[in-house]
Each structure stands twice: as structure tokens, then as C-alpha cells.
Amino acid sequence: MCSSDLDSLITFAPQLRAQLEISGQEIVESLFIDGDVEISASKNINAIDTTPAATDYFLAFDGFRKLPLITTTANSRSAGGSLTIDDFLATMQLMGTAGLAGIDPTKVGFIVDGNTYYAMSRLAEVKTKDVNTAATVENGFVSRVYGVNVLASWQMHRASAKRMANNAGKIDADTDANNTLGAIVCVRWDQWKQAYKRRMTIETTRIANADSWEIVALARLGLAYRDGEASAITYNVGV
């Protein structure tokens, strides 16, 4: 519920609606990566030290991180608190027997949290033009590693204020100081299915007798994987 525009320097109903649209996109992005339906104490990957609140957005469905961290643990590995360029190749190799599910660069992609993206931009293999034609020192971006697209997401590890995880790839929700590390997720896109029953709708209604506005945002969507090789993760990445 919004109070009167008379109390604001701007007409805040349109401003709030615009902010809700952006926030909704960010939440959905995080949900695809971080989603975990586990409600038991100290078991959810986004609240490994406590019990999730019933209203926590990440409880909607399981996302890319949950599969290798909990369901198919053979598809997860630790970087040992460091980061090398080989961690990306090693993550791909976790997918399927002998890495067969990850071998086609047109069918997979890397997702890294923002802190890992900064760290990988400093790796010698991508930093300067004498070793990489798209050097990060010159253009500031890492778009591919081993021929596979890299997507940086500041919505990954969203339950942490620092957008980091602990050394097991999970998030300490109560003590953010324990979240100091990054992660690399490799996703086999054709093994996931995302569908909407209702794309996000936003309705704005003026309530005259209260001199206020009501803004309601609704969406219905889901995500599911086809098999246990649909994603892999390297956690405990030094950033």
C-alpha cells in the first residue's frame, strides 16, 4: 500500500511499479540459480545454519545449485579455497560419465557469482592480450572460457549480503561473515525446463477514500531438470 503522492517529491506510484519490475526480474534470476524447497532446519543451501522462513522466495522450486550440492553430489567439487582457469574445465568434466554431458560448448554455460567474476578477470590466462585476444585489462569482460559462455550473476548467493557462500558452497544466513567464497556452476541448458502459468503482472489501483495506492505483483512459474547430470558446481572458490 502506498500513501499519497502529496508526501513525495516524485510521483512514487509509477516509480515503485518500475522498481517492482526490476526486483521481480532479480528474484526470478536468483530463484533459478539458488532455489531450494527444503524447509527443515539447517538443510537449505540458502540457510544452512537455520530454518528458512515460510515466506523466503527461494523455497518456490529447486534451482541449478541445489542439484549438484544435494541431489547429485558426484557433480560437485571443491576448489580448495583458490581459483585457477582449470576449475572451469574440471566443473564441465563432472557432468556425465567421462564428462560426456558437458563436452558440447553449445549446450552448456557457466554461471558465476559476481565475486568470482571479478576474481577470474584477474587470472593470467585472460588478463592480457599476449595470452588472450579479448584481454580483460583492455575490454573488462570475460565472455567465454574453453569455448563456453560465461554469465556473471550478482543474484547468485542472494541470501548472503556479500553474495558469497561458505566452504561447502552453502550460505550461512545468520552470520554473513562466514560467507567468504565463490562458486562456478555449469548448466546443461537443454536438460532444464522452465515454464510460466502466469508471467509477472503488476496492477496499480487508486484507493480514493484512503488517498493511497495499492500495487500488486503476481507470477506463477516453475523449473525442473530432466536428469541428474543437468548441472555441476565447483564451490569453495577463492575470490
List the chain pLDDT tens, one digit each, 239 residues: 555 555 555 566 777 777 777 877 899 999 999 999 999 999 999 999 999 999 999 999 999 999 999 999 999 999 999 999 999 999 999 999 999 999 999 999 999 999 999 999 999 998 887 777 777 877 778 889 999 999 999 999 999 999 999 999 999 999 999 999 999 999 999 999 987 667 777 778 888 887 777 877 777 778 999 999 999 999 999 99
pLDDT value of position 181: 98
pLDDT value of position 36: 98
DSSP-based three-state secondary structure for 195: strand
Q: Which alpha helices (H) appear in 35-173, and where do they start and end?
A: 66, 86-93, 114-120, 124-127, 136-139
Q: C-alpha cell of 75?
A: 557433480
pLDDT value of position 136: 82
Distance CA(62)–CA(51), nearest Å, equals: 17
Closest CA to 118 of 182, 165, 32: 182
Q: Integer distance in angstroms from the first to the last C-alpha of the chain? A: 41
Strand partners, 35: none
User: Is the Cβ–Cβ distance between 166 and 180 less than 8 Å?
Assistant: yes
Distance CA(215)–CA(11), nearest Å, equals: 14
pTM of this structure = 0.86
